[in-house]
Chain A
Amino acid sequence: MRVQLIRSALLALPLIAASLSTASADGNVTIRGAYYKEHSTKVVQPMIDAELEAGEHGTFAGHLLVDSITSASAASGAAGTAFNESRNELGADYTHDFGDIRLGLGGRYSTEPDYQSRFVNLSLESDFAQRNTTIGVNLARGFDTLDNSGAQGGLSSILTGELDTTMISLSASQILSPESIMSVSYDLSYLDGFQQNIYRTVVAGGMISAERLPDSRLRHALASTIRYHLTPTNTTFIGAYRFYIDDWGILGHSPESRIIQELFDGDVDIHLSYRHYRQSAADFYEDIYDSGDVFEEPFLSGDDKLGDVRNHTFGFKTGIYLGLFGLEGKWADVRVDGLVQYLKQNTHYGDAIISQVALTFPVEY
């Protein structure tokens, strides 16, 4: 699949190059490579995204990605040995613009050897007060199935399960001034079904047990972002905050700040970012379980991310338009992005390095 994706990307390049010299409808195509490295886990994710005009009032967005993971962690899919696994994902959305109202319909399919996921979503967005205010609602349903019968490592017990997800998201954005805008969103999601990791084990009462988690989870997330542009220096300040709570007892806060400095008449932008994340542990999470008895301790988890998590992310990103180098016409609008982040975590995963490189082409067809 990865070979197919790379081949598709290579085939797309001449088409993109040709489209840069022809005309009619607009859009853009982004080819991105992402890399995530921890002490014992490495993820490489090549992806292609396209956003294209579809008719006079429609927009189509689609993506294709391959998620390739190499890990020595049993909880990631192997029984105590290092393993490699790939996940393939395909997504598509169509949005129709009715003027002050936009209606969208989308879907996503993801498959890996032991897990399949299907998502559909319907969105509605409307503008008010001369488009100073925008309010939106997004409904999504997910249907996941898992089956470890084809897993690497020769597991003795075969597990299968299903997980259904229902999400409703409400959003609002408000222009505050010619230089500032604010957005708020609230996501409510309900997960119903098998939520444990089928490979993760827990030491309970001196014995090794399989992870046991509740069959349902109700999650609330409230997030807000404020952007302000300082015109004399071409600097944008972004502040964001997310509050999270769920019925497993996890309560999370994540403030984030970003500064974007434009240079060379906007041909270059430099981003500096910092994000802090912290959460309390789930009610049933313990470092050590005393008995593992299903009545005394109905839920068992060895998942670090259900414990007390704190992390810090420091980021640097730059975007450069090729117009900076004297290229003209549509080539001047081709954009190259590079991103590096350092993630400092208090969990046993250890610190991580994240990097991404992307190339975005405007297309006309």
Chain B
Amino acid sequence: MSRLFCIVIVCVLTTSCVRVKPYQRGTLSKRSMAADKDASESRFEQHSRGSREGADGGTGEAGGGCGCN
């Protein structure tokens, strides 16, 4: 699965040379395209997963910070 992930990343990055102009970004500014989860929703999600799963991270935010391990 990790190999498939790397292949997808390489394919996307090598085909991502198209420059989208500011006036073409109406769709990209939609809530669903920017952040479909509020900060509070993501924080609770990360907190509950951190106490039930051994893996953590990948969100750019530091996890843990409580004695619920």
Q: List chain A positions with a Cβ less than 8 A from chain B.
A: 30, 32, 34, 36, 43, 45, 47, 49, 51, 61, 63, 65, 67, 69, 76-77, 87, 89, 108, 110, 112, 114-115, 117, 119, 121, 129-132, 136, 138, 140, 142, 144, 146, 165, 167, 169, 171, 174-179, 181-182, 184-185, 187, 189, 191, 195, 197-198, 219-224, 226-227, 229, 231, 236, 238, 241-244, 246, 248, 250, 252-255, 258, 260, 262, 266, 269, 271, 277, 279, 282, 303, 305-306, 309, 311, 337, 339, 343, 345, 347, 349, 352, 354, 356, 358, 360
Contact = CB atoms under 8 A, between A and B. Distances in A.
A250 B54 contact: yes
Interface string B8-47: 1100110110111110111110111100101111011001
Contact of B36 (A114, A195, A221, A260): A260
Contacts, number: 208
B11 to A, nearest CB: 11
A356 B55 contact: no
A179 B18 CA distance: 12
Contacts of B57: 167, 187, 189, 219-221, 223, 242, 244
Contacts of B47: 45, 67
Contacts of A36: 48
B54 A309 contact: yes
B39 to A, nearest CB: 6
